[in-house]
Amino acid sequence: MPEPTSAKSPQSILVTGAAGFIASRVCALLQAEGREVTGLDSFNDAYDVRLKNWRWAELEKIKGITLHRMDLTDRAALRGLFEKQGETPFDAVVNLAARAGVRASVENPTVYVEANVGGALNLMELCREFGVRKFVLASTSSLYGKDHATPYREDMNTDRQLSPYAATKKAAEAMAYTYHFLYKLDVSVLRYFTVYGPAGRPDMTPLRFVQRIREGRTITVFGDGSQSRDFTYVDDIAKGTITALRPVGYEIFNLGSDEPLKLSEMIGLIEELVGRKAIIDYRPWHPADMMATWADITKARATLGWSPKTSFREGLGRLVAWYEENRDWASKIETD
Ligand SMILES: NC(=O)c1ccc[n+]([C@@H]2O[C@H](COP(=O)([O-])OP(=O)(O)OC[C@H]3O[C@@H](n4cnc5c(N)ncnc54)[C@H](O)[C@@H]3O)[C@@H](O)[C@H]2O)c1
């Protein structure tokens, strides 16, 4: 494992998926550190676009972030963006754009392959061509499948994905290694564990359950609620992502809270914070879902000096406060 290095931090950074939940925070925090940030997003309709518009508008308020509406699968447009940098190419690319979500990938695997594998490949090719040295790739805890005891370590076998989504992330990890091997692209792969926070994803339980419990709507629970997730606060994840911009060769890091929580416990805490009881519709377990996720984060602590700082109660409190502030439109977000 490489030692932390004090090499100069990348200054000019391209962040993909900038209207997305995690990337929008990465852009804001990078800019706050004085880096030059370029963001892009395709604004696909994988979930309610009002959330992407809100995050994009927040970024537009910040001076010094350049934003482009662009699809990673549009090679010509993407190439134009790299070309426009002229004599000063990006120092790093942080690829967070993706089709995310496990169950939707079972319905429509093709778009997942196009964005998550094809899009990542387009970026790596341009890094090679334009001499960009650093590539950060968002990956997922879903890669660990169901054959391992928790907590998950980066050196566990990840050959058996349960969903097309996880399989595309595995493919992108493998392609990134190839670009590291052939072209010395410096790669940090980050396996995120169930990220939550303000303006989160409406296809994930934290925002969906906050909205639906607060508004007295039914929530659906697959299985009996005993499945557990290593819920990790979005700003902790964004800071870990920025920390991973340092040169490492090719390394994979889990970024998780290391404090897994049962879904039923999360529901109880939301009930307490919003002051209402949940109405629950229990449905059969989905085979593509994982029963538990839990990150062993020893490597990220040791190599990146990173550790999560936000307790689940504190982070969920911030999500609930954000929801209350934005309730006039957030109550209308599609969370079915
Ligand atoms: N949120 C989590 O819990 C979690 C967990 C593990 C991994 N991840 C990964 O982290 C990354 C960010 O996830 P997120 O939760 O912020 O998801 P998100 O869907 O909110 O953000 C992804 C963004 O990428 C954009 N995008 C998708 N395809 C694109 C394309 N072809 N070209 C340009 N833009 C495109 C989308 O419009 C979206 O705004 C993803 O790679 C995801 O797979 C997230």
Enter the tokens of residue 41. Answer: 């997003």
What does the pLDDT read at residue 38? Answer: 98
C-alpha–C-alpha distance, residues 18 and 21, integer Å = 8
Ligand 1 pocket: which of 25, 26, 42, 208 to mutate (most atoms within 8 A of CB): 42
3-state DSSP call for residue 270?
helix
Mark whether 165 is an active-site residue. Answer: yes
Burial class (CB in 10 A: 0-12, 13-18, 19+), 63: exposed
CA–CA distances in Å: residue 281 to residues 70, 207, 222, 225: 39, 17, 9, 11
Token pair, residue 243, equals 């920390």
72 lines ligand 1 (CB under 6 A): yes
The catalytically annotated residue of 47, 144, 152, 165 is 165
Give the fold, CATH level 3, of 12-196+232-258+295-309: Rossmann fold (3.40.50)
Q: What is the pLDDT of residue 147?
A: 86
CB 201 within 8 A of CB 324: no
Q: What is the pLDDT of residue 8?
A: 65
How far apart CA 50 and CA 335 sit, in angstroms, is: 12
By most ligand atoms within 8 Å of CB, the mutation choice from 26, 44, 108 for ligand 1 is 44
Provide the residue ranges of all domains of the chain, joining segments of one domain with +: 12-196+232-258+295-309
151 lines ligand 1 (CB under 6 A): no
Query: Dihedral of CA 305/309/312/318: which sign?
Result: negative
**So what's the pLDDT on residue 110?**
97
200 lines ligand 1 (CB under 6 A): no
Which phi and psi (to 5°) does residue 39 adopt?
A: -120, 150
CA 43 to ligand 1 centroid distance, Å:
11
Question: Among residues 335, 213, 223, 228, which one has the least CA distance to residue 282?
Answer: 223
Atom of ligand 1 nearest to the CA of 195: 3
- Cα dihedral 83, 88, 92, 96 sign: negative
3 state SS of 271: helix
**60 burial level (CB within 10 Å; 0-12, 13-18, 19+):** exposed
pLDDT in tens, 17-34: 999 999 999 999 999 999
- List pLDDT tens digits, range 107-159: 999 999 999 999 999 999 999 999 999 999 999 999 998 889 999 999 999 99
Tokens 């001076």 sit at which residue?
Answer: 63
Under-50 pLDDT residues of the chain = 1-6
DSSP β-bridge partners for residue 218: 279
